[in-house]
Structure formats: structure tokens, C-alpha cells
Amino acid sequence: MKDKIFIFDTTLRDGEQSPGASMNISEKVRIAHQLEKLNVDVIEAGFPVSSRGDFEAVKAVAKEIKNIQVAALARANTKDIERAAEALKVAKYPCIHIFLATSDIHLKYKLKKSREEVLKMAAEAVKHARRYADSVEFSAEDASRSDLDFVCKVFASVIKAGATVLNFPDTVGYAVPDEFGQKIKYVMGHTPGIEKARLSVHCHNDLGLAVANSLAAIVHGARQVEVTINGIGERAGNAALEEVIMAIRTRADALKVQTDIVTEHICASSRLVTMITGIPVQPNKAIVGANAFAHEAGIHQDGVLKERTTYEIMNPCAIGLAKSSLVMGKHSGRHAFKQKLKELGYKLGEADIDRVFERFKDLADKKKTVFDDDIEALVTDEIFRGKDKYRLVYLGVVTGTEAVPTATVQIDIDGELHREAEFGVGPIDATFNAITKITKVKAKLLRFSVNSITGGTDAQGEVTVRLEEDGQVVIGQGADADIIIASAKAYLNALNRLEYLKKNPVKSLY
């Protein structure tokens, strides 16, 4: 049977130390319940002595969470430990997490203490904490930059004092994987009584190596990893829970360990933390980034459609996603385009697909991403539209801080010119009102959106509108450097499509 890796989640404590990531009590409790769904082994709920709010938050989480261990952080002194114990009083499975620096640089400049003093402080703190909790974790802060023999000596001392978990942190993200793995191996082999405790690691991401260092530690004997959702945390953050977990799951053949995490809750957990903290996940972030299961390259799309594992080493369902996505752009191939048409409900012949695909490629050269609405518009344009009934001839608008927005529009309707002027709450509203007055079409505007096709202040803007009339829904699009003109073109484009559908119903094609 594979060894279990215990997952110690510190999103609510170290994660909250991300600039701007402060959470209130109800938000912490909400995330704690999500972590319980994930089935992490330990939730570090906060640092009770740091503030009244943190004390109350730890207390609230301890009261709510009954299936897994709840930890509170404390420095190696009586006041901190007793404050943590008080916050954890209602916890079913309390854990007091004590930290004390062991590196010479911290001893000299921060603590201003000798090694002998630190050794004594560590043992006394753990002994005191055991009066309040059966589970006590001791962290040797800045262990990766400490003298290893001294760390082993401290660890041996706190084991005798009752520590159940020993944490070897890479506090400033300084270590590299092979080096860090060897340090863990050394500690495992040179700490008397190590078999009585679980060795944990807490890696920061200052060099982008937090997950790699955590995995290296596992290979060399660590059996607990301290992580945060989305990797949030102090400075560059911590080892990301989702990356560590999915690496263990995906490469079980190499790592030969397992966790009890319910991975299907990973995606929801990531989104919840993003929503509460306001810290977005970068699109190319592993596992939970928007692009993690997205494919745009034609060769990749073709491979995934034929057999998912050609370009996906993980099943998106495993983290709670319904499926991977095909991003339609200039690199997309015909196979993916055909699949997208099928998903949108169109049943076209091969010749029609070829015609629409050629138009799609032209559009993709102008836009970074071609959306579903764009493709629907192309299909309607290329397959279902005849000669346009409405054509924009002239558009003039008056607007400003004091002026009432007014639009004058001239439209060619089947070869006959019509002109009207109308007011509106803005120039685009006035333009649409004038077009409606001329065409006498009573379509309902369901959606209006604007995107930039090119960059810069002189960017070409693209407007998309969705209209509905008598149950028929159409997409209209227009592009121009002037967004008001683009809007008028899009509105008329949609009206022309409605006219065509009135004369040529296409129900059988959906």
C-alpha cells in the first residue's frame, strides 16, 4: 500500500498574508467548509495572538469544522500558546503549531539569541502546548538556511517534549529541489526519535520552486506537505495545493504515495478563494488556470478529439471541470471547427463547412479568439443569407456633456432611401432608435457587447448584438474604428438576418 501524504492547508493563515487577501470571519468559515469537502487533513485557521479578529476566526472555524484537524499558529512563548489553546477550546481535533527560527541569520538579527537558548525555548514551548492539545507541530523557521545538525538537535529535543509533527520550512523559497530533497534525507537519517513524529515541509515560491521542492521532500521521506489554494501566500506565495495533489495523483508511478483529497472539489475551491480574496488566477496557471485544459493549436485539437490523452495528462473531470475546451483561433484546424459547429447545433454538408471554415480563418487572423457568437454569425452570413434588405448610407450624431444625444440615420431599404432623426440616452441608443423608426421592426435587443479587434487608441472596434423577434434569435456584428458606426452596422446586420429567417426558416438545421 502506498504511503499517505498528509495535507496541511494554510490558506486561512499564510494565504491571508498575501497583500490585499484579508478575509473576515464568515469568509474564513466558508473556505474552511470547502476545505472540509476537499478532505484536507489539517486546516490552519489563523494566528490567534496576532489580533482579536484572528482569534475569533480561529474560534469560529474550530467550532464549525468537526471532521478534520484545526490548527492555530503560535510563537514559542506562553502567551501565544495559551491564546491559541483558548481559540481551539471548542475544536474536536485541535493542533497547536509552534514556530521558532533556527538559522544563524535569524538568531543573530531577529531573535538575538544563542543556539542553546533557542533549543531550550523550543522544548519548553512544545511541552507547554501538550498540556492543551494532543497534536503539536513544531516548525524550525528558515530551516533550509539553517545548520542541519542544529535542526536535527532541535527536532530531537521537541520530539522528547511531545511534538507529533516536525516541520522543515523553506521559509524564503531559497532551496532548489535536489538540494532540498537531500536536506530532508539528512534530517530523516540524523534525528534521534524521528520515527515518533511526522516530517512536514512548508515551501515558499520565491524562485518558483515551491511545488518542486515539496515533491522532492516527499521522495526523500517527508509525509506532510503544507499548501494553499491557488498558491497564495506571503510574497510569491506557497506551494499550490492543486499542483501538489494532481502531481501526486498523475505521477503516482514515480512518487509512489497518495492523499485522501477529493480532487473533484479542486476547481470549486480555487474559484471560491479567488472570489473571496479578489486575487485572480493567471490564465496559464497549472491545474486551475483558464488555459489549463484549453486547446487552440490545430494539431492539439485534432489529437484531443481523437483521443483525449494525446495532449491531456489529466482528465478535467478529476478537478471538477465538465470537460476541456477548444479555443477557436487562427491555429485551430478543420476538425476542431467541425466539432464546434456540431456543439452549436449546426448540421452542415462538407461543402458548406469548407465555405464557413474559410471565412472563419479570415476572421481568426483579425481576432485573438473567435467566440461562438462569431461562428454563428459566419454560418448565417455564408449559408443562410441572401441580399441585404437594409444598408447603412449615412450616420451623424450629436452628443456631449450638455447636448441631448441625437442621431440622424439614412438607410437604403431595397433600393429606396429613408432618413430619420431620434434622441436617446446616449449616441448609440439614439442611433438604434432612429434605425427602429425607419425599419419599423419591433425586435428586442437581448445583448450588446463591444470588443477591440486591434490594439491602441485607434483600435478597430467590433460590436455584437443579439436580437429576438417572434421567437427567432439572431446575432449581428459590425466593425469600424468608430464604435457608433460599428454599432449601427451590427444592428442592421442582425435585422437583415431576421428578414432572411422570416422568408427562409432553418429549423431543420439546428
429-484 pLDDT per residue, tens: 999 999 999 999 989 998 898 876 555 555 567 788 889 888 877 878 887 778 99
The pLDDT, as a whole number, for residue 507 is 40
If you write DSSP's letter for every residue of 169-208 in order, what string do you get? EETTS---HHHHHHHHHHHHHH-TTGGGSEEEEEEB-TTS
Reply yes or no on whether the pLDDT at 152 is more than 50: yes
* CA 67 and chain centroid, separation: 26
Are the CB atoms for 158 and 126 separated by under 8 Å? yes
Residue 232 in contact with residue 275, Cβ under 8 Å? no
Confidence check: pLDDT of 332 > 70: yes
Strand (E) or helix (H) holding 58? helix 52-64
Q: Could you give the percent of the chain with pLDDT greater than 90?
A: 61
Grid cell in block for residue 214: 515539496
| 186-to-146, 180, 192 alpha-carbon distances in Å | 13, 10, 12
Task: With H, G, I as helix, E, B as strand and everything else as coil, classify residue 365.
Answer: coil
Task: Tell me what pLDDT residue 237 has.
Answer: 95
Q: Crossing angle for the helix pair 266-277 and 241-250, nearest 10 degrees?
A: 170
pLDDT at 290 over 90: no
Q: Which parts of 210-317 fold into alpha helices (H)?
A: 210-219, 241-250, 252-255, 266-277, 298-306
Distances (CA, A) of 467 to 162, 373, 498: 70, 12, 8
Q: Which pLDDT value is given to residue 247? A: 97
Cell triple for 48: 490567534
Question: What mean pLDDT is predicted for residues 215-235?
Answer: 97
Amino acid 382: pLDDT: 61
Condensed to tens digits (0 to 9), the pLDDT of residues 186-203 reads 999 999 999 999 999 999
From the list 345, 380, 335, 343, the residue with the least C-alpha distance to 359 is 380
Q: Report pLDDT for 376.
A: 67
pLDDT tier at 55 (50, 70, 90 boundaries)? Answer: very high
Q: What pLDDT shows up at residue 426? A: 95
- Give strand pairing partners of 411: 392, 418
Domains within the chain, CATH numbers bracketed: 3-277 (3.20.20.70), 299-368 (no CATH), 390-509 (3.30.160.270)
CB neighbours of residue 283 within 10 Å: 10
Instruction: Give SS3 for 55.
Output: helix
pLDDT digit string, tens, across residues 104-116: 999 999 999 999 9
Confidence of residue 503 (pLDDT cuts 50, 70, 90): confident
User: Beta strands 444-452 and 42-46: pairing type?
Assistant: unpaired
What's the pLDDT score for residue 504? 63
- Helix locations, 344-482, DSSP H: 350-364, 372-379, 427-439
Q: What is the layout of strands, in order, in the sheet containing 444-452? A: 444-452, 461-469, 472-480
**pLDDT in the model for residue 33:** 95
Asked if 142 and 105 count as a contact pair (C-beta separation under 8 A), the reply is yes
Residue 353, pLDDT > 90, answer no
The mean predicted confidence, pLDDT, of the chain is 88
- Residues with Cβ within 8 Å of 28's Cβ and at least 6 positions away in sequence, in order, are 12, 45, 46, 57, 60, 61
Residue 354, Cβ density class (10 Å: 0-12 exposed, 13-18 middle, ≥19 buried): exposed
Beta bridge partners of 407: 397, 422
> What type of residue sits at position 508?
S
* Cβ–Cβ < 8 Å for 238, 11: no
314: pLDDT strictly greater than 90: no
pLDDT of residue 384: 55
The x, y and z cell numbers of residue 280, run together, are 485572480
Tell me, what's the pLDDT at 295? Answer: 58
Does residue 425 carry a pLDDT above 50? yes
Instruction: Say if residue 323's pLDDT is above 70.
Output: no
pLDDT at 328: 64
Under DSSP, the state recorded for 414 is T
Determine the Cα–Cα distance for residues 427 and 135; give it in Å rounded to an integer.
67
First to last CA, the chain: 52
Banded pLDDT at 341 (limits 50, 70, 90): confident
Question: Helix or strand or coil: residue 102?
Answer: coil
Q: State the amino acid at position 214 in one-letter form.
A: S
Of 89-103, 330-344, 438-452, the least confident = 330-344
pLDDT at 508: 33
